Amino acid sequence: MSGGETSWEVLTKVELDSAYISEKLLNLEILLMQVETRASDYVGTGTDAEDAENGDNTSTCDRWKLQNVEHQRHILQLYEKSLAKELDLEKKLTDSRNSADDLKLKLRWMNQLQKCLLVIKPCKRLSLQTISQLKHRNMRL
């Protein structure tokens, strides 16, 4: 662990990052729904009254179609950017979850290793004491 952080601290940070990314993803989905709502409410901004007075309905219709196409292109670009950000956030979330799983596995392994060491140390001391006692007995004989 870098900077003297314990595995629990790192795991906590990863979980907080995961929650933060999930919240951002939710915010993006809400934003996407708002954009969809606004797109469906869009009304052309042509000067219908002026064109109707001039008898130029075809020009108004063409202008409205052009604006509608441009607006749809803009909405699609917004979708594309939003989806790219969403995919990036999902990748980061997956990476964070994988890191958390790795840390949990390492922590479990370290705990098992610690338990093994606690069992081995007394046995090692006992065997060293036994060896030294046997040496002393052999010297006496």
* 126, part of any domain: no
* 28, part of any domain: yes
* pLDDT average, residue stretch 104-133: 76
* 119, part of any domain: no
* 17, part of any domain: yes
* 125, part of any domain: no
Q: Is 4 left (phi over 0), alpha (psi -120 to 50) or beta?
A: left
* 19, part of any domain: yes
Q: What is the pLDDT of residues 46-61, one digit of tens each?
A: 455 554 555 566 787 7
Provide the number of structural domains found in the chain.
1
Query: In which band, very low, low, confident or very high, does the pLDDT at 63 lie, cut at 50, 70 and 90?
Result: confident
Could you tell me the pTM of the whole model? 0.40
Q: Is 3 left (phi over 0), alpha (psi -120 to 50) or beta?
A: left
- Domain range for 82 is 2-105
Q: What is the pLDDT of residues 67-108, one digit of tens each?
A: 888 888 888 888 888 888 888 888 888 888 898 899 999 999
Half-sphere exposure of 8 (CA within 13 A, CB side): 1
Q: What is the pLDDT of residues 4-34, one digit of tens each?
A: 678 788 888 888 888 888 888 888 888 888 8
* 97, part of any domain: yes
* 131, part of any domain: no
